[in-house]
A and B are shown apart, each in its own frame.
Chain A
Amino acid sequence: MQNLIIQMSTIVKRFYIGEPNELEVLHGIDLTVEKGEFLSIVGVSGSGKTTLMNIIGALDRATEGSYILNNTVIEEAEDEELSAIRNRQVGFVFQNFNLIPRTNALKNVELPMMYAGVNQRRRTERAKELLAMVGMEERMNHRPNELSGGEKQRVAIARAMANDPAIILADEPTGSLDSKTGRLVMDLFHQLNREQGKTIILITHNSELAGETGRILTMHDGLLFDEQEVTRHEPG
Chain B
Amino acid sequence: MKFPQFDQEIAISYFSDVKNAGQIRNELLSGNPDYQVAFINANTLLSSKHLLAAVYRAVSDQEAGSMKTKNVHSEVLFCLGGNNNIMDSLRRFGIQDDTTNIVAVKIGGGEYTKLVEGTEEPFTDEQIAKNTDIKLVKKVYKLPGTVSLDDRAQVETAAIGALLLRGFS
A and B assemble together:
no
